[in-house]
Amino acid sequence: MTARTDPARVMVAMSGGVDSSVAAALLLEAGYEVVGVTLRLWGGESDSGCCAVSDVDDARRVADALGIDHHVFNLGDHFESMVVGPYVADHAAGRTPNPCIECNRHVKFGRLMDRAGALGFGLLATGHHARVVERPDGTRRIARAADSAKDQSYVLNMLGQDQLAGLLLPIGDLTKEEVRRRATDLGLRTADKPDSQDVCFITRQHGRGDFLGRRLTFTPGRVVDGSGTEVGSVSAVELVTIGQRRGMALAGGAAPRFAVDVDVAGATVTVGPVGDLMVDTTPVEAFSWADGPMGGTLLVQTSAHGSSDPAVLDGDVVRWSEPHMRVAPGQSVVFYDGDEVLGGSIARQG
């Protein structure tokens, strides 16, 4: 039986970083009944500042300092099946995935949010730099954070009305500097802790190639130019992404050349000048919307901290107002109305 939820009870996802630490503190100050939860997702090596044993310890100590209960949920199996496995499969198919977005989709705002409700919590809070805004008709959307340099609205593009109704983002109206100042004033151990970087299960020491090499059989491939002439080689087609310039052992040619197409099945990478990366359209799939499908002229963003550019969403094709950099299949393509997220999709092979 599902527990009856209490809107005054908030489960705070505490990663062990300064943002979620301050989020918990602000909610406590606001009078909520706050409980901290840290997710244990990855049992292997991690040096990204996320998912490491030390992060669990930091979260627990912050919770102790705030005087709130703290729990650790082991969702490693779910993380493996919904994030790590698809990450490997995408590379094997020549796509460039975004595992942090899939973790948000399936773990933080999927399994964790469900568990929060089952345990009687009316709300889930995180330390993301973004805002939840309520519109005049009562619907909600994710909106950009006050600190544009830290804005994380792009990685929350999958959230719908049910999730937004139960979500608090306490630091969305603060700059990073203000967050750290609050943490310092409260004497929290995470006040000066560096931000997490990169993918939590890919270590900086060993890298993506080493991780995938233990899970995939790499395919050596040839590199050709636009005319089909062989101009180089790669040791693993699966590690090449659209826009890549280095690591392809290219022969001759003074002008820089970039990967413009990756064909894993054919063991071939096509390269060309930067102009070959510019396209008029981007095909997309796997839509998610905040409050119903949209179309027509929208602002579209194709990377976490990239620009949002005007385009027309025509069915499953984004038609750019001006030539746009090619988007690697597997990457998120997110739709905005001003600062508000309308929804998202994933770039597909065209």
Which residues are tagged catalytic? Answer: 103, 200
How many angstroms separate the CA atoms of 164 and 155, rounded?
Answer: 14
How many angstroms separate the CA atoms of 169 and 142, rounded?
Answer: 10
Give start and end residues of each alpha helix (H) in the chain: 18-29, 53-66, 76-79, 85-92, 99-103, 113-118, 161-165, 176-186, 207-213
Cα-Cα end-to-end distance for the chain: 46
With the C-alpha atoms ordered 166, 170, 175, 180, is the resulting torsion angle positive or negative? negative
How far is CA 190 from each of CA 23, 128, 149, 236, 344, rounded to the nearest angstrom? 12, 16, 20, 40, 32
- What number of residues does the chain have? 350
Residue linked to tokens 């949209």: 294
Tell me the residue type at 30. A
| 52-55-56 Cα angle (round to 5) | 100
